[in-house]
């Protein structure tokens, strides 16, 4: 009986919204956010712990490439109402609202039960600090190797592992900032 009520509620909500597969090879364009227009908002459902993708009805998404979906709304108020209703039915899930830019940017808003609040994400600040620490440590270890005439060996090995990870964090942060400035100039 509960499953029928949830299905009826979802069908009623979908009359003012539509569901998109996250990746639909038969659609043009194939990505969900590329099919949205400015002013539309998509709701994605994930588990509160771990962030595993869930279907819009709260059921597990076993194969995200084939069945992962989001619900697209014509305005932000409808998307927020949907998230609030779904959260009441599924308190262990997290509902995130995205605009037509998709998951390339942080969600506009997230709905989750406070008992299942997020513990932290890999934010821009974390990426920046981690990159500086890793690259700095790699430079110090490399300098130690050069000063000792390559006497340690282990320092160069550790530096060789830390430097690429640090540079990756720094480059991701750099290109994220460049992209944000580019979009700001276009807007």
Answer yes or no: are the C-beta atoms of 5 and 37 closer than 8 Å.
no
Answer yes or no: are the C-beta atoms of 170 and 132 closer than 8 Å.
yes
More confident residue, 5 or 43: 43
* CA atoms of 74 and 76, how far apart (whole Å): 7
Return the pLDDT at 122: 65
Per-residue pLDDT tens over the stretch 5-32? 344 344 444 457 888 888 888 888 888 8
Answer yes or no: are the C-beta atoms of 164 and 158 closer than 8 Å.
no
Give whole-number Cα distances, 64 to 53, 118, 167, in Å. 7, 22, 30
Give whole-number Cα distances, 20 to 37, 42, 44, 91, 96, in Å. 13, 9, 10, 23, 15
Query: What ranges make up the beta strands (E) of 99-167?
Result: 109-111
Residue 149 has pLDDT above 60, yes or no: yes
Per-residue pLDDT tens over the stretch 60-82? 888 766 778 889 999 999 999 99
More confident residue, 16 or 182: 182
Per-residue pLDDT tens over the stretch 81-125? 999 999 898 888 899 999 988 888 888 999 888 776 666 556 778
């Amino acid at each position: 009986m509960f499953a029928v009520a949830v299905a009826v509620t979802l069908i009623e909500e979908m009359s003012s919204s539509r569901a998109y597969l996250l990746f639909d090879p038969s659609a043009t364009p194939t990505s969900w956010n590329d099919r949205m227009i400015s002013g539309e908002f998509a709701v994605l459902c994930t588990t509160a712990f771990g962030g595993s993708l869930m279907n819009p009805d709260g059921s597990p998404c076993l194969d995200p490439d084939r069945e992962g979906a989001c619900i697209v709304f014509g305005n932000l108020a409808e998307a927020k109402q949907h998230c609030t209703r779904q959260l009441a039915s599924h308190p262990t899930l997290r509902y995130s609202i995205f605009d037509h830019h998709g998951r390339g940017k942080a969600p506009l808003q997230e709905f989750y039960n406070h008992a299942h609040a997020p513990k932290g994400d890999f934010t821009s600040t974390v990426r920046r600090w981690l990159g500086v620490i890793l690259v700095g440590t790699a430079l110090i270890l490399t300098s130690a190797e050069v000063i000792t005439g390559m006497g340690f060996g282990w320092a160069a090995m550790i530096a060789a592992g830390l430097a690429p990870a640090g540079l990756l964090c720094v480059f991701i942060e750099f290109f994220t900032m460049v992209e944000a400035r580019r979009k700001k100039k276009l807007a």
